[in-house]
Amino acid sequence: MQKEAREAPMSNMLTTKDLQELINVDRSTIYRMAESGRLPAIKVGRQWRFPAREIEAWLAGGQPTPEAEQAFGDLADLLLPGVAKPLADLLGSIFGVMVLVTDLDGQPLIEPANPCGLFKYVHNNPATHPLCADTWRELGADPDRIPRFRPTPLGFECAPGFIRVGPELKGIVVMGGIAPSEWPPAADQVRGLAAELGVPADSIAEHIDEVFYLDRSHQAWVLEYLPRISSLFSRIARERSRLVDRLDTIASLAGSTSKGVPS
């Protein structure tokens, strides 16, 4: 698909950086695809340029990117707890909120970082875990994919960010434990919450103030950075996937070589 530079005006061209952001692959992969003709591309001196309309048609035609061709594993296998948990702990301390990473089924992949007291009390009761999982799954199913705070069955608010590996949505980063504007809830609301959770109302009342109180500017700060945070988790998972794939390739090559060595 390579073409001469004169065939298209440069104003209609994408740069390599533009294409990186569009199809979410690294620069060297784009160069290989351009060189091999798998990508609409034009060589301008020593640089590659990509005709915007042809790239659009290429994507619309379902042409796979290298990551789309790759089978990615479960997010739990890609986000090492030894990396994800310390990162979540750091983020929780910096932003002053609870941070949690789950898969799309709402199952936590790490222990909650910086949990508020109300969440810790409720989560100590295993009977409440399915309700929490349902809440996180619903956050991840939001079609808008816009970070915003939403109420949860525990009464406090959480906001989701989305973890992608290649073209696949793999999980969510939840930041929350935040008191809404009307807090604490009235006594009858506390009793209703306790009944829904199956825990004593008096115990809930003891922990009801153990949430994070954030003013509007602090909440806006969290929402501003949440997409960047989820993108960071996405990058960690993506890079591990690539590393595992390379190690598998090396192991396969080593196995093939060893078979050819006489005993």
Residues of the chain with CATH 1.10.10: 2-67
Q: How far apart are CA 76 and CA 79, in angstroms?
A: 6
* Residues 141-181: tens digit of each pLDDT: 877 777 899 999 889 999 999 888 766 788 999 999 999 99
| Banded model confidence at residue 1, pLDDT cuts 50, 70, 90 | very low
**What is the SS3 assignment for 213-250?**
CCCHHHHHHHHHHHHHHHHHHHHHHHHHHHHHHHHHHH
Overall pTM surpassing 0.75 (yes/no): no
| Helix H or strand E encompassing 43 | strand 41-44
CATH number of the structural domain 75-243: 3.30.450
On the question of pLDDT at 68 being above 50, the answer is no
pLDDT at 74: 78
- How confident is the prediction for the chain on average, in pLDDT? 82
On the question of pLDDT at 70 being above 80, the answer is no
Which CATH fold topology does 2-67 show? Arc Repressor Mutant, subunit A (1.10.10)
Higher pLDDT, 246 or 105: 105
* Residues 72-84: tens digit of each pLDDT: 567 888 887 788 9
| Banded model confidence at residue 94, pLDDT cuts 50, 70, 90 | very high
Beta bridge partners of 142: none
| Banded model confidence at residue 206, pLDDT cuts 50, 70, 90 | very high
Residue 84, judged by CB atoms within 10 A of its CB (0-12, 13-18, 19+), counts as buried
Q: Are strands 98-103 and 41-44 parallel, antiparallel or unpaired?
A: unpaired
Q: Strand order in 98-103's β-sheet?
A: 98-103, 168-178, 157-165, 150-151
**123 and 112 Cβ atoms separated by less than 8 Å:** yes
Higher pLDDT, 217 or 164: 217
